[in-house]
Each structure stands twice: as structure tokens, then as C-alpha cells.
Copies of this chain bind each other. A is one copy, B any other.
Amino acid sequence: MINYTSRIIAGLICTTLSLVISASGTFAQNDPLPSWNDGPVKQKIIRFVTSAVSPGEGYVKEPERIAMFDNDGTLWCEQPTVEAEFAKSRLMGKAKTDAALRETIARVSAAMKNGKSADVQRDILSLLAASHSGLSEEEFADAVRVWLSTARHPKSGRPFTEMHYQPMQELLTYLRENKFQIFLCSGGTLEFMRVFAPALYRIPRQNIIGSSINLETRYNNNGETDVYRKPGIARINDKDGKPVGIELHLGIRPAFVGGNVRSGGDIAMMRYSQGRPSASLQILVNHDDAEREFAYAEKDNFSLNAATKYGFTVISMKRDWKQIFPK
């Protein structure tokens, strides 16, 4: 808590200073991204959006103003992965009488602690399937809602829904004001994200693309119809699954993509975005701020190498963000 509080205070000081600075700076009057430090990254984003809405080179027609954002590590904190925490809490009961389940949980927990969640991606999703099936979609959503209302981030002690990035919230608003439609495109499962994303990011349920477990229409004795969650994963919306998920949902190559460094999960949709016939921008959040958030990297440097090769814009949380979390 002390660590975290000091981070918040540091953030506050930075913000205050930056307000003073920006009063005489480039974005004095109407800075759309006040929590971003002035510099090449911020300028590149603003230049892209300004061009997108102005006739001429870089113009993006309104129906093509599709912005696709990853969630974990891009819009909110992924240390620990929130949906895995939810799964663990739901699995506690079941695990008491299920040794295989206990082993899988142990494996995932260990990987999480070592920041190697990518190595157990399938384990994570099998846990989600095991913990989240055997009930209707609405019952599941209720369970998520109840859990989110009491669960707390292990380090900050704040609700997980407060662990989102203030600069990214400003970016969402900025894009929205310029008539971009914002979509979530995450490895998280659909019904989990639908519980918090509409209120947290102002992203409606119909703009959420995610992993899905097997679903089935069922009729109960009262003649009522439910969509029931069966064990088993239907589709994983990660890596090469992301362009497929976008294609299944709307089939428009996004003009703007936001992702992050951790497991290479967002590179495929960034390259897919670059296949647009006209302008596009891809931004990649790099978690390099151990002081205010977390610092972690990929062993093989896959995402940062791809950024260099394909010209994605890398955001250094340390350098580019004045403030990380909301106050």
C-alpha cells in the first residue's frame, strides 16, 4: 500500500507540474490527452487523428474509423490477470475434490507469479472453461458482477475496475470525439468483459470481441429459453485469433489498434490493420515502469522487434505517461 500510495502521490505531482507546463505548451487550450507527456508518441497520435478527420492524405472515411483495443495490459493492469483471479476464486470450491484441477491451478499460479502467463495461455483458458460452465449466460454475468464488487487488487487494494490507465481513457474519449467507433479485442472471454467494459470504457456490449466458450440454446420446463454455457472453449481470441475475431464480428480492418507487450498477442491484429488501403496507426504499450506500475518484457522481444520491423508506435509508460491510474 505504501508503495502504491507513493506512486499515486508521484503521479499527482507530475500531473500538477504538467498542468503548469502545458499552460504554456503546444496543447495549452485544448489538450485532448492531458495525461500524456508531450513528445513524439503523443504528437504522432494527434497527427494521425487530425489527419483522419481532415480531407487530404491520411483521411479515414467515417465507417472505417474503427479502433480496436486489447484490454489486459493495454487498457487496464494485467498483473495479475483479472479474469484469472476471478477463475481462481470460482475454482476454490471445486478444487477441494479435484486433484487435476488443483494441479492446473498450481501451474497457472506459478506462471503468473513469474510473469510467464503466456506459457500457460491454454491452461488459463481451460480453467476458465471449467470454472465458468454449467450455468446460463445471465447467471454467469451475475457471478462476475458479485465478484468484481468485492475483489481487490493484491498490491493496490483498489477494486480491479479502478486499475485502468488514465491516459488510455483519454485516448478513447479523443478517438470517440473524432467519430471513431471503439471496439475491445481481447483474449478475455466475452461475458466476463461485458460486465465491466460498458461502464468502465463506454464500450457497448456489441463492440466487444473476445474468447468464447461453447454455448447452447436450452429450454427449461417452464418453456423458458436460455443460452447455456457448456464446458469447452469455442474460440481463443489471441494472436492469429484476433484478425479472425475481427473478421467474424465486423470484417473491417481497423484504422487504429492499441495493444501491449507481454506475449505477442496483439501483433497479428496490428499487421492486419496495416493491410488497410489507406492510413492506419498501431500503438504498443510497453510496461517499463516498475515504479508506478510494473516492468516486464518478452523473452524473445517479439512484439518490440515487430514494432521496429512494421513501424508500430511504442508507448513507454515511464516516458510517455504523466499519470498511470485514475486518482
Contact = CB atoms under 8 A, between A and B. Distances in A.
A250 B212 contact: no
B206 A247 contact: no
Oligomeric state, in number of copies?
2
B205 A248 contact: no
Consensus secondary structure, chain A interface: helix
15 contacts: A137-B251, A194-B251, A206-B206, A206-B207, A206-B249, A206-B250, A215-B244, A215-B247, A215-B248, A217-B242, A217-B268, A219-B271, A224-B275, A225-B271, A227-B247
A240 interface: yes
Interface in A184-198: 190-191, 194, 198
Nearest to A219: B271
Given A224-B275, A225-B272, A251 B190 contact: yes
Which 9 residue pairs spanning A and B have beta carbons closest together? A217-B240, A206-B250, A225-B271, A227-B247, A217-B243, A225-B272, A215-B244, A205-B250, A227-B243
Nearest to A181: B206
A268 to B, nearest CB: 6
Contact of A225 (B137, B141, B248, B275): B275
